[in-house]
Amino acid sequence: MPYSKVMPIKLIETCGAPQEFGEPVIIRSALNFTGVLPDVLHRPMLDLRISVTDRCNLRCTYCMPREIFDKNHVFLPRPELLSLEEIARAAAIFVRSGIRKIRITGGEPLLRRGIEKLIEKLSSLRTLNGEMVEIAMTTNGVLLSAKAQALKEAGLSRITVSLDGLNEAIFRRMSDSNVSVRTVLEGIEAAQRVGLSPIKVNMVVKRGVNDGEIIPMAEYFRNTGIILRFVEYMDVGSTNGWVMDEVVPAQEVVDLISARYPLVAVDANCKGEVASRWVYADGAGEIGQIASVTQVFCHECTRIRLSTDGKLYTCLFAEQSDTDLRALMRQECSDETISRAIANCWQKRTDRYSEIRHEAQQFPRNKIEMSYIGG
């Protein structure tokens, strides 16, 4: 579906917030004829990722390396977090701005008290054309078996669980924790039992650490209805010590599995889907590849991120934000002013980090940590 240019028209009202947003527009008129808000590269703002906490009960080496996020690390104090009410208000404004999917992330979202209440509120939202807004969550699964039923009842549509191996020692090395693989598998089973399907399992592959788990993971999830997705190890944030040599390209994973269980590539479910899709020729199910390093997909990136303390980020590899929704909400600005801030943030968006990664790597960058803005 083509995306067209927007036509800004007259400003209605302002609140106390200074006019740092430049040319005032009204959100509704900022939406093009397909009801979406395009950025500079004509990509629509369709997916909102909300980080509801910067805390986690694991220390995955590619996301929250313990040497940085140690016992002295200062997490955001509670008053600085968006309250559940503020998150729900912001989400409703985003949906009126064309958002169709909301993904709850973190840190580890199941650590956020009252998360079910938030999901209940979000699950009552309707898109501009009256459809249910899809509410998904990405979790490490450690608390999932205890919470699956309540999440389902609250209205969660689907869930993605991170699991980087079945071998206990390798899993503990990747998560830098003493948590057992069994705990996460029980969480996945509980999610399946209560019907939080389709369930996706994301495995970040790091060469020399867990790449030996590719086949065991593929075999474990064949014929289960669960979609296993292999994630290329990424240079997210500024603390995980990323090197290209530790990346296992998606094509290498496909070739490895296909040599044993032939795979057939299939089309994406929708525009902007992050994972490329493959099905087993023998009907044993589906796998996916999230290849942000070797098969970049910035040209179709429809994602905006709301950080734990209310700032907007337009790329996973962003270095800063100039839009603070928490400040606007706590200045008692109107929904219209907040939606204008969202429109201005997105409409000037030019992000395509994965396309320029290698040039970008020449210059020091202070990228925001993934645990703060959600994966």
Quick one: 222 or 349, whose CB is closer to ligand SF4? 349
Q: Does 351 bind ligand SF4 (CB under 6 A)?
A: yes
Phi–psi pair at 304, nearest 5 degrees? -125, 150
Quick one: 143 or 268, whose CB is closer to ligand SF4? 268
Measured from the CB of residue 317, what is the shortest distance to ligand SF4 in angstroms? 5
Quick one: 155 or 249, whose CB is closer to ligand SF4? 249
**Which stretch, 92-100, 139-147, 251-259, 352-360, contacts ligand SF4 (CB under 6 A)?**
352-360
Record the tokens describing residue 188, joined without a space.
């996945």
How far apart CA 262 and CA 269 sit, in angstroms, is 21
Quick one: 46 or 301, whose CB is closer to ligand SF4? 301
Q: Does 360 bind ligand SF4 (CB under 6 A)?
A: no
Quick one: 47 or 213, whose CB is closer to ligand SF4? 47
How far apart CA 60 and CA 171 sit, in angstroms, is 9
Q: Does 353 bind ligand SF4 (CB under 6 A)?
A: yes
How far apart CA 217 and CA 196 sit, in angstroms, is 20
Measured from the CB of residue 203, what is the shortest distance to ligand SF4 in angstroms? 19
Q: Does 48 bind ligand SF4 (CB under 6 A)?
A: no
Q: Does 221 bind ligand SF4 (CB under 6 A)?
A: no
How far apart CA 306 and CA 91 sit, in angstroms, is 9
How far apart CA 302 and CA 322 sit, in angstroms, is 19
Do the beta carbons of residue 275 and residue 230 sit within 8 Å? no
Q: Does 354 bind ligand SF4 (CB under 6 A)?
A: yes
Alpha carbon separation from 215 to 18, 197, 219 (Å, rounded):
56, 23, 6
Query: Quick one: DSSP state of residue 79?
Result: G
Measured from the CB of residue 348, what is the shortest distance to ligand SF4 in angstroms? 14
Residues 6 or more apart from 267 whose CB is under 8 A from it?
277
Near ligand SF4 in 279-338, by CB under 6 A: 292, 297-298, 301, 303, 315-317
Quick one: 305 or 326, whose CB is closer to ligand SF4? 305
Measured from the CB of residue 365, what is the shortest distance to ligand SF4 in angstroms? 12
Do the beta carbons of residue 340 and residue 333 sit within 8 Å? no
Quick one: 209 or 315, whose CB is closer to ligand SF4? 315
Do the beta carbons of residue 106 and residue 54 sit within 8 Å? yes
Decide the pairing of beta strands 263-266 and 303-306.
unpaired
Question: How many residues belong to the site for ligand SF4 (CB under 6 A)?
Answer: 12
Measured from the CB of residue 314, what is the shortest distance to ligand SF4 in angstroms? 7
Does residue 132 sit in helix, strand or coil? strand
List residues near ligand SF4 by CB under 6 A.
292, 297-298, 301, 303, 315-317, 351-354
